[in-house]
Structure formats: structure tokens, C-alpha cells
Structure 1
Amino acid sequence: MGGARVRSRAPMVGEAGVPGNGTGPDLLPGMWSCGGRRRRRILGAVFLVLMAAVVERRLNLSDMVPVRLRGRVLGLQAKDTQFLLEERPFRILGGSLHYFRIPREYWKDRLMKMKACGLNTVTTYVPWNLHEAIRGKFDFSGNLDLQVFIKMAEEVGLWVILRPGPYICSEWDLGGLPSWLLQDPEMQLRTTYRGFTEAVDNYFDRLIPQVVPLQYKYGGPIIAVQVENEYGSYAQDPSYMTYIKMALTSRKIVEMLMTSDNHDGLVSGTVDGALATINFQKLDTAIMVFLSTDQRNKMPKMVMEYWTGWFDSWGGLHHVFDADDMVQTVGKVIKLGASINLYMFHGGTNFGFLNGAQHSNEYKSTITSYDYDAVLTESGDYTSKFFKLRQLFTDILETPLPAPPVISSKASYGAILIQQYVSLWEVLPSLVQPVKSEHPVNMENLPVNDGNGQAFGYTLYETVIPGGGILHSYDHIRDRAQVFVNMRYIGHLDYSTQELAVPNGQGYRQLRLLVENCGRVNYGEHLNDQRKGLIGDISLNKTSLRNFKIYSLEMKPSFMESLRGFTPWSAVPDSAVGPAFFRGTLQVQHLPQDTFLKLEGWEKGVVFVNGQNLGRYWKIGPQETLYLPGTWLQEGHNEIIVFEERSAGRILQSTDLPFLGKVQYVS
């Protein structure tokens, strides 16, 4: 995302460095050292008056859309306090929408809704870990067809600001960096460490040619490109931003370059030749003054990320940001003469295992839904924020806005009865070939996936123990392990629980640890420490365990296809427990529609529909339903497979309304 993510809880007013808050005087050294609040208020008031003069008249941007603007020579320029497009004043009114979080069939609908809201620019990140999931094998097809997405934005009448990373944050696993980078024990992410820059160069050699012909000066809609993302909040290598800038320009990126940082990161996140922009949720004019100071010259001001809501973590509450407060702040930013980008306009979904995590004081993984309390809901429906923003932009712009597209109906298909089940222990011998190792091996360094290691999902570690005692993890579990003796569940280990009593028994028994990668941290100082599975020794009675069988359970489509044909599935017993797979059928009689799956009575796991991984569920909340796009359904029979870790229900409920949990208002 954007944002200064010290994210262990909801941001509250008055805490320095947390999005949604004002900037304390101690955060701007040298600027407020003499004069205190009075000087700050005077400078802020003067700034407001000067910038408000820029926007006294309404904006006429009606013919400044991709399909109408001809004779392109100069591109987006920064002159004094405003942007120019072909030497005409231009204001960026943008919204963030990530193609990789939305089914391709819905891209145009979401873009048209953005246009109908009054925006003229879409911004999107580019996830390296999807486009190069296997080192050297690149995918720009299907839901990852970036060219089609950009061209579709142009057809709708939107300009594009591209944010290609390589790091994107975005509450996305490892900030979009591929996990195979972590096979190198010396890896230093987001630096000029040779192993990292070689990988970035290879990726950019394939990515950048995809977008070069879509730049403004070549007749396309891309008017600006962002250099990395919020580097000032990381800032491990003073040469790195220059390297990334050159990596872009040397591959024929010719449009305006920008950087993006929160106010704390502005000092060290910028680079010569790129316009510095700011990220925040609560407007403090001192932030804009500080941005002016950092730019050193008269330059247009842009809020690259104005946070329209907030993301949620498992075990927390669903964050909601007041619509009136949001729209008032947008109006103030525009009145200041600044450009703005709404993060997020539409959040979408962290399908599969691709959610990120935060780890400041404690580890917290991000939920499956990326609803974000954004302008559109997770399923693309309008909110009050949409209509309030549309009215604001109607008042600002001289030309009428297009009519909002009709929203799609949602379906309630009722109860889905789970009819079949098979235990994980039954399918393992047939479907997964174990890796044998004397020592534990972390997920990324397992010899699987053509030498690229395991990226996501679960890893099962098996060894033999002679008796009972105290099992100690030494904080080597990443991130959560269910522990079994033979097939009997005895407890779990994670960051906070590092010891577990193993009951005594006769003879040698199997000790099994089913370890889940709950999501790699996507922001902060822990990026280099995101190896998953067992990352070191565990001991029983202070003796390190050895001789492991290790099963990679990434649950890719090929695995699910094999599981589908596995026999025998059996009828669900009265007291079925996990880890196990449960199967049922969703019947659709007419044209499929979006729906939401509610898993009341289930504990923790993952849901697959027709082979598509909808993502994780967990009874601790806040999220209670999983979004199921209608485009992933078909008329007739639809196969539902649930991988439940522990305690299974007997039905899933299809409903036409999402339940994202108990609300906490972001202030």
C-alpha cells in the first residue's frame, strides 16, 4: 500500500508516524524548532490561501482524455505549482485498482465505475511474485495480462500511473517480491546487493518492454511511472533508488517519474529526477509545507495515496473510515491545488495465499478480503463514499459525468451440504513425494518447483520420537504449526506459544508438524527474515530432532486436480476433524452471479471452488464470509472443496451479503 505501517492496531489520532494522524512538531526537525505551534499555524494558513487561489475556477478537463488528445509531444510536465499535459493545465484525479486482485472479466466494470465517479487516472501496482513465480518463467496472460488492462483503461477514458516496484507493499505477500529470492542466505532485499539487482534486471528486461509502447509519448495512456515504493520507510541503501531509476530509464521509460512516501519517509525516499509525492489519511497542511520544502523548488503537489479506508488483520476488527470525513479531506486537498489518488478506489480480494502480514510488536497476517472500506466494495458495489465523491467531482468539473454502470445482482444459493471427506493422512502417500532431510529445511529451500522452493501454503514435517516430554520450537515456527503424535492432535506452536507437552507413549511414534505460511511481512524492517516453515531446529527434551520427511502442500491447481480424482472419498462421519478435505456441490440453475460463502461452524482453512482458491477463513475473524465471483461459477454443478485444519462444519452457506466483522472506526 502506501502508508507508514506500524500496523499492529488501528491508527489513532495523535500518534506520530501512523497513517491517519497529524505530524507532530518533533517529526519535522529544524522546521518547527523555534516558534512552535503558532508559526506552524501561520505558515499553514498562508499555504492554504496561496494554493486555494489556484482553484477558484472549476476544472475543465473534458477533452484531456486518452482517446481525444492528439499531437502528443511533451507528456506530463511539472511547471511551477501545476501539472501540464501538452502545456495545458492538468489535475490528476486518480484511484487505485489492482488488476491482480480482480477477476479479469470485471476489470472494465470497475474502470467504468471509476470514470463515472469523476476520476481521470487509474494507478496500479505490478506484482513481481505473480509475473515471475518461477525464476526465469514469466506470465503476462489471463488475469495477469497487464497490457490488456492498460489498454482497457485507455478505452474507458482513463490515464494510467504505473507503479512497477519491484517492491509494492500493498498488504501483499513479501510486498510483491518473489519468495525464491530468499533461497540466497545472504539476500538483502531492496538494496544494490548483486543477487537482488541481477534478479530485478532480469525481471525488468521482460516487464518494461510490455509497457514501453503504452506510454503517453508513444500514443498510450501511461503518463507517469513510480520509482520503487515508500523507500524512505526502509532506506537501507543510499544508492538503491538511483539504481531503480536508471533501471527504468535505461529500458526506455520516458514519462514523468515519481516517488511515493509518508511524511517520515520523504527525507530519504526521494531521488533526483523524480517528483516526490506524499501518502496520508489525515490532512495536515504542515505535511504539504514539508513536501514543498523537500522538493526545494516550486513543484505541483500530489497525494499519491490518500487512504480511503484501512486493511484488516486476523483476530482484529473491521476498519471503517467515515465517508464524510474522507470526502471533506479530498475536497480540501483539491482546494489546495494538489492532485490526488484514492488508495483504494476498489480493493478487491487477496485470493489464494497471497495476503501479506505486519510484524512490529507482534505478527499479524492480513485477511483474505481487501475490501479496505474503499469507494467500491470488495465485490464492486457502490458505497456512500462513491456517491459523495461523485457529487464533489460534479461540482468541481465543468462537464457532466457518465452515468454509473448498473450494479450486478448477488445471489443467495442457500446451504451447501458437505457430503464427502478424506483425511490429509490418507492422501499424502499417493499425492505428495516427501523430501528426506536430516535437518529441517525452510519452505523456500525445499527442492521442489524446478528448484524454486515452495512459495505458499502448508508444509508438513514428520520425524520419529521415542517418548514424551517438552517440545520446544526456539521461535523457529513460521508461522503457525499444528502438532500431532501419529494422527492425534496435541496442540499448536506459533510466535507466542513455543513450548508444548508431548504425552508419553509406548515405542516409537510419529511427530508431525503441519506448518502454515500465514503470509509474509510486506512492510518494515523484517523483509529479509521472511523464510517460512521450520527455519531452524526444534527439540524434544532439549535434544534437537533429526531425520525429517517433509511434504510440500502448496495446493496448486495440479494438486487439486489429483485430489479430485483420488479414491476413496468417504461419507462425512459425525465427528469429522482435520486436517482433511471436505467436498460438496453448489448448484446454480441460471446465469451464475456473485455470492459470498459463510463458514459458520468451521474453524480454520481454505476454500476451493472449481479449483479456484478463494483464500483463507478463520473463526477468530473479523471476516466471516469469502467472496465468490460469479465468473468462477458455471450453470449446474460447482465443486466445493474445503481444507479444514481442525474442526469441520457440515454445511457452507451461500449468501448475497458479505459479513466482514465487528466494526472499528478509524479516527
Structure 2
Amino acid sequence: MVVLRIRNAHKRKYAFICFSIVAFIMYRYLGMPAGGRRMSRKVGLSANSSQFTLEGEPFRILGGSIHYFRVHRAYWRDRLTKMKACGINTLTTYVPWSLHQPERGVFNFHTQLDLEAYINLAADMGLWVIVRPGPYVSSELDLGGLPSWLLRDVNMRLRTTYPGFTQAVNTFFDKLIPKLVPLQFKKGGPIIAVQVENEYGSFAKDDSYMLFIKEALQSRGISELLLTSDIHNTLKSGGVDGAVRTVKLQKLNQRDIRDLNAFQPNGPNMVMDFWTGWYDVWGDLHHVLPPEDTVSTVREILRRGMSINLYMFHGGSSFGFISGALSDPSYKALVPSYDYDAPLSEAGEYTPKYHLLRDLFSRYSGGESFPDMPALHYREAYEPAIMYQHLSLWEALSFTEGPFKSPTPVSMENLPVNNGNGQSYGYTLYETTITSGGFLKSEDNVRDRALVFLDRNYIGLFKRQHVELAVPDGKGRRTLSLLVENCGRVHQGRDLDKQHKGIVGDILLNNIPLRDFTIYSLDMTPSFIDSLYQAQWKTLPQNPSFPGFFMGRLFAYGYPCDTFLKLPGWEKGVVFINGLNLGRYWSIGPQQALYLPGPFLNSGINQVIVFEEQEGDYKVQFEDTPDLGMAAEIQ
């Protein structure tokens, strides 16, 4: 960039006029903010004709979804730059309530969750923004992005005008919406539209609910265009007066367009979620959508003059325990990778879809040339981290919050932990005393999976398909332990209110309910993992006990690079890098490697802790290529 010193008033005036003309052209004709410049505008995105207009001029939304909470903050600019270079003009993002308000009265909009910084970055890069603040977002998040502490209310009815829910929504919106209001288009910001809730048509338990959410947004100062988004056959029950209906789909057919036109015959059509791929669940295959199928559908959508948002443009990763689950037809938990077979891979790599879409969008750019594609980040296959220390689960219990005594089992959400907000994620250990053997029955009250121990020796597994277990006979009083994992609350469906985890009812021994439990909360938070450094770790023995924590070191000399963490020979557990929860691993796949962004690492020594449930190989490998498992085309 060349900077000239303007030495006299005439030249300064001339320069100001030139800059004003350039800025006007940028936002009027190229459909883009002028470098994040804040200027008041009178007319925002409008849907009063067969196509959208922005400031009175025709405008087609070429959108892409990238979630700030699924991308390390250090990589926000890289991912958005690659989006801009593909020809996208609008960024869309969900806002996960569960992450921004982990406890009642506790809000987090900092560092990784700094939504305002993310939106401002998009503006600086010349992208418009559509915000999707929920409160329910789905997005394959645990409980669809709703905070689990809502379930402490025994009468809770999520996504309705039940007072306990609306009061909580109002409290959250009181914090969230004022952050968005000054970033709206008419106030000089990049936000051109806001979505009202998400996919309410497939839930639709309360006719008053969508109006409540709409008014909750507008009464707090949201004045830009409102949208709703549903699949075609639920458009009627998911809409609300005053909001433009949009559709979600993966294959385009006449029925989708007909249903949309029936509700707004004179309005613009938009595919708010064109699914570029799909998510993966444990025990299944990695889902892919062929690039040719993707691009042919996008081409047809554009040919029809419609606007589009690619969901996802870049999926990223569901770090930690935030992944959701499916319940229909049977319970299946999601993997940590949110690669989604998107145009940009989980690690920000260009894919064939990216190149084909870039070529397609270039034909709709009005002659505008796209920015150059940024160079890719270097990836490293580091030397394996050899596990050299061990801490059994039982030795780690003294670092948990508790224990708590209860005559009957208590669900995770109702435990008296985290300032009375219950436990959101992780594991819970339930222990009681028994005096005989026999048959143990869970009656589907274990959510979702439990390792069972007798005097802390493993005797079997409870999961949803296996609800009965033999307990060996023995003399005297013995300790029965159940280590229960929340594998993920479902992210969609009509049973959101019933997503309590842990032990949610009676466990029977010889048809008699077990009583008098001692309960430990193992939510595996960063503070808990950090506290383990004070424990008396032992040199890794020949035959370590399971479950247990295993510690090793990764050496990353120089500037740390992206890598992929693999655990061949390990069975199931969680990996922590420098105290941060990278996510679950499970030998059943499909995902075989966890993406580890370079910014997670320090130059030099990095602590690697693995919590393994049943079997370990005692070293962790690092490779420079992803492994999401055997692929299968989406049908």
C-alpha cells in the first residue's frame, strides 16, 4: 500500500471526494461494506419485490456459514479471507446460547466467543452478515445450543412461551441483542438480516412462540430484515408475519419452490441452508456429497434468480463436549469433527467443491475480480507423545466437586454443582453399597453409557441396547460403581425437554431399586484438568488400571503447526492439550484423527492428557493428514 502525504487543502478535498466515490461504489454496486466504514444508511435489505434489494439496488445474497465457536480465533481471518476469495458476499453464523451463558447470571462474550469482534472482522473484510441468534439453533450442538441448566426446572417446556423459558430467553437477549444493534446495516454496520429462531416448523408446539421471539428481537432494537428458515413441508408452521420465509434443502425440486412461492408469491426466494454435505455419527460412515452434485444444484438455484447460503462453507470442529446427537430411529452421538464435507475442509484446506464454486460464482460477479486465494497453513507430523505417567480415575476423585450423598440417583443437570446450575457435560460417577450378586437392570435409565465396576473392578457395560448385567456373588458389603457418560443431548426433535443425562431413574438389583448413592461430578472442565497437575501421578506401570488419565508430552519446536492426533490401540475417551478439551475419540469411528490447530500448541513442550475408559496403547501419534474414516455418499 502506498501512502501519500496530502500537503494542501485542495489536494485533501480532492482525495476526500475520490475516497467517497470509491466507498459509494463499493457498497452500492459491489454489494460489500467499504472496509468496515460506519455510515448511517436509510434503507437496508428489503424483500418487497421478486428479488432482494440493498439500499434500493438489486442484491443477491451469496452466503456461506462459518461458526466462530468452531474455528480457533487465530484462524478467523484466514477462513473469512478464503470465503471472500470464493466469491461469497455474506457471512452467516449461529449464536450458541449454551456457550455464551454456561450458568444463570454468567455470560461469556470474550476471546473465542467474542461475537462483536467476529462481525467487525467480517465487515473489515467486505462481507455482509446474517446473524442467527436462536435462542434454539440446532447446528448439531448438544441440546441444539440451549443451556442444560434450563432442564433443572421440572416443568420446563423448551421452545414455548412457558414462563420459565421466556424469562431465561429475555435475560439472554438482554445481554446479546445490545451487542448486535449498533452493528446493523442502517447504523453503518454489516448485519443485513437476522433470523427468527430456527426450524420451528418441525417443532411447532406453541402458536405464540415465534411472535414472542420476533418481538423480543425488535423490542431490543433489531430493525433489519427478519427471516425464518424451515424445510419445505414445515414452512407454514415455522413462519411468522413480518419475516421472510426461506427454505433448507440439499436437492432442488419443484415442490420446494412451489411451497415457498405459495407463502410469498411476490417475494424473493432464498435457500437459507443449502447443505453442502452432512454431519457424522459414531459407528457410521463419513458422509460426503460429490462436488458435481453440489455445484449442479447451486448452479440451478442461481439460474432461477434465487439467493443462497452454503451450510456449511467451512464447518470447523465441535471441540470439547458440545456435539449433539440423534434420537430417531435410535440414539447416535455425533463425532467432534464438523468437517461437513464443506468447500473448505475442517483444517481450512481447499477442496474440489471450493474450486468449482469459485468458478461458478465468478460468472455472477458482474465483472468484479475475486481476491487471490490465500496460501495454506503448513501441517506437521510431530513425533509421537509417549505416555509416561498415569493417574487412575479413583485417585482423581479427590479433585472433583463433591462428593454428594443422595438416597436416589440424581441426574447430571440436577446435581448441586457449578453454583447450582448442575453439570452440563462429561461423566458422572455413582457409587452405592450392595450385599449380594444377581441381575442389575438399568431400565433405560442410564443416559447414555455406563461402565460398571464392583469394588472398582470392571464387570460390564450399560448402554441403551444393553440394559441388563450379571453381578457376581460375593460376601459382605461391596461397592458398586457406575461411571456414566453424557455422549451428547439430541440437537433436534420434539423431545428436547427429556434430555436429562446421568442416571435418570431407578437402577434395579434383583428387581429392588438401589439406594444411598455417593455421586461425583466429572465434567472435565479446564480447571479440573489443571487441578490434576497437583495429583500424585505415578510412573506408567506395566498394567495400568482403567479408567485412567495418561500424561505425555508433545514437542513442537519453532512456530507450532496444525496437526492431526491419532490414537491407534486406544478404545474410547477424551484428549486434552495443554488443559484444553480437544474432543472425544472412539475406536468404532468413523473419525480416526482429531484436528489439532497449531494455535492450541506452545513452542516447545506441550502437555497431552488422555482420559481412557478401557484400553490404551500408551502413545499418541501426530500426522499431517486428516482421517475422517471410510466415506459414503449421502443418499
TM range (shorter): over 0.9
The whole-number CA distance in structure 2 between the counterparts of 1:427 and 1:114 is 44
- Counterpart of 1:215 in structure 2 is 184
- Counterpart of 2:488 in structure 1 is 519
- Counterpart of 1:67 in structure 2 is 34
- Counterpart of 2:629 in structure 1 is 661
The whole-number CA distance in structure 2 between the counterparts of 1:394 and 1:63 is 13
The whole-number CA distance in structure 2 between the counterparts of 1:570 and 1:285 is 65
After superposition, residues 214-233 of structure 1 pair within 5 angstroms as: 214-233=183-202
Does the aligned pair in 1 maintain the 2:400–2:521 contact within 8 Å?
A: no
Q: Deviations over 1:152-177 (max 9, x none)?
A: 00011100000000000000010000
Does the aligned pair in 2 maintain the 1:577–1:647 contact within 8 Å?
A: no
- Counterpart of 2:573 in structure 1 is 605
The whole-number CA distance in structure 2 between the counterparts of 1:86 and 1:448 is 51
Does the aligned pair in 2 maintain the 1:304–1:341 contact within 8 Å?
A: yes
Partner-residue secondary structure (3-state), 2:488:
coil
Q: Deviations over 1:331-376 (max 9, x none)?
A: 1100100000000000011100100001012100010100010111
Does the aligned pair in 1 maintain the 2:40–2:186 contact within 8 Å?
A: no
Amino acid aligned to 1:652:
V
After superposition, residues 107-506 of structure 1 pair within 5 angstroms as: 107-295=76-264, 297-397=265-365, 398-506=367-475
Q: How far off its partner does 1:210 sit?
A: 0.7
Partner-residue secondary structure (3-state), 1:82:
coil
Partner-residue secondary structure (3-state), 1:434:
strand
Which shifted more, 284-293 or 609-618? Answer: 284-293
- Counterpart of 2:559 in structure 1 is 591
- Counterpart of 2:10 in structure 1 is none
- Counterpart of 2:22 in structure 1 is none
Amino acid aligned to 1:66:
P
Partner-residue secondary structure (3-state), 2:212:
helix
Amino acid aligned to 1:86:
E
Which shifted more, 62-71 or 265-274? Answer: 62-71
Partner-residue secondary structure (3-state), 1:199:
helix
- Counterpart of 2:6 in structure 1 is none
Q: Deviations over 1:377-422 (max 9, x none)?
A: 1111111111110001112212110001111011100221111111
The whole-number CA distance in structure 2 between the counterparts of 1:73 and 1:316 is 51
Q: How far off its partner does 1:263 sit?
A: 0.9
Does the aligned pair in 2 maintain the 1:260–1:304 contact within 8 Å?
A: yes
Amino acid aligned to 1:581:
F
The whole-number CA distance in structure 2 between the counterparts of 1:445 and 1:431 is 16
* Structure 1 alignment gaps of length 5 or more: 1-59
Which shifted more, 118-127 or 387-396? Answer: 387-396
Does the aligned pair in 2 maintain the 1:478–1:534 contact within 8 Å?
A: yes
The whole-number CA distance in structure 1 between the counterparts of 2:614 and 2:565 is 19
Does the aligned pair in 1 maintain the 2:399–2:532 contact within 8 Å?
A: no
The whole-number CA distance in structure 2 between the counterparts of 1:71 and 1:484 is 65
- Counterpart of 1:91 in structure 2 is 60
Does the aligned pair in 1 maintain the 2:399–2:528 contact within 8 Å?
A: no
* Structure 2 alignment gaps of length 5 or more: 1-26
Distance 1:430 1:337, change over 3 A: closer
Distance 1:222 1:510, change over 3 A: same
Amino acid aligned to 1:63:
L
The whole-number CA distance in structure 1 between the counterparts of 2:544 and 2:338 is 31
The whole-number CA distance in structure 1 between the counterparts of 2:491 and 2:111 is 25
Amino acid aligned to 1:67:
A
Partner-residue secondary structure (3-state), 1:484:
strand
Partner-residue secondary structure (3-state), 2:272:
strand
The whole-number CA distance in structure 2 between the counterparts of 1:180 and 1:78 is 38
Does the aligned pair in 1 maintain the 2:102–2:147 contact within 8 Å?
A: yes
Q: How far off its partner does 1:431 sit?
A: 4.3
The whole-number CA distance in structure 1 between the counterparts of 2:329 and 2:62 is 36
Q: Deviations over 1:205-263 (max 9, x none)?
A: 01000110000010100000000000000000011000000000000100000000001
Partner-residue secondary structure (3-state), 2:47:
strand
Q: How far off its partner does 1:303 sit?
A: 0.3
Does the aligned pair in 1 maintain the 2:399–2:531 contact within 8 Å?
A: no
Q: How far off its partner does 1:265 sit?
A: 1.4
- Counterpart of 2:541 in structure 1 is 573
Amino acid aligned to 1:573:
P
The whole-number CA distance in structure 2 between the counterparts of 1:267 and 1:632 is 45
Which shifted more, 218-227 or 390-399? Answer: 390-399
* 2:600 equivalent among 609, 625, 632: 632
Amino acid aligned to 1:650:
Y
Q: How far off its partner does 1:526 sit?
A: 1.5
The whole-number CA distance in structure 2 between the counterparts of 1:169 and 1:578 is 35
The whole-number CA distance in structure 1 between the counterparts of 2:396 and 2:286 is 37
The whole-number CA distance in structure 1 between the counterparts of 2:398 and 2:359 is 61
Partner-residue secondary structure (3-state), 1:369:
coil
The whole-number CA distance in structure 1 between the counterparts of 2:417 and 2:533 is 22
Does the aligned pair in 1 maintain the 2:159–2:165 contact within 8 Å?
A: yes
Q: Deviations over 1:23-60 (max 9, x none)?
A: xxxxxxxxxxxxxxxxxxxxxxxxxxxxxxxxxxxxx9
Q: How far off its partner does 1:430 sit?
A: 4.8
The whole-number CA distance in structure 2 between the counterparts of 1:438 and 1:373 is 48
Q: How far off its partner does 1:286 sit?
A: 2.1
Partner-residue secondary structure (3-state), 2:278:
coil
- Counterpart of 2:23 in structure 1 is none
- Counterpart of 2:610 in structure 1 is 642
Which shifted more, 414-423 or 451-460? Answer: 414-423
Query: Does the alignment pair 1:549 with 2:518?
Result: yes
The whole-number CA distance in structure 2 between the counterparts of 1:566 and 1:620 is 32
Partner-residue secondary structure (3-state), 1:266:
helix
Number of residue pairs aligned between Structure 1 and Structure 2: 607
What percentage of aligned pairs have identical amino acids?
55
Partner-residue secondary structure (3-state), 1:448:
coil
Does the aligned pair in 1 maintain the 2:93–2:130 contact within 8 Å?
A: yes
Does the aligned pair in 2 maintain the 1:539–1:545 contact within 8 Å?
A: yes
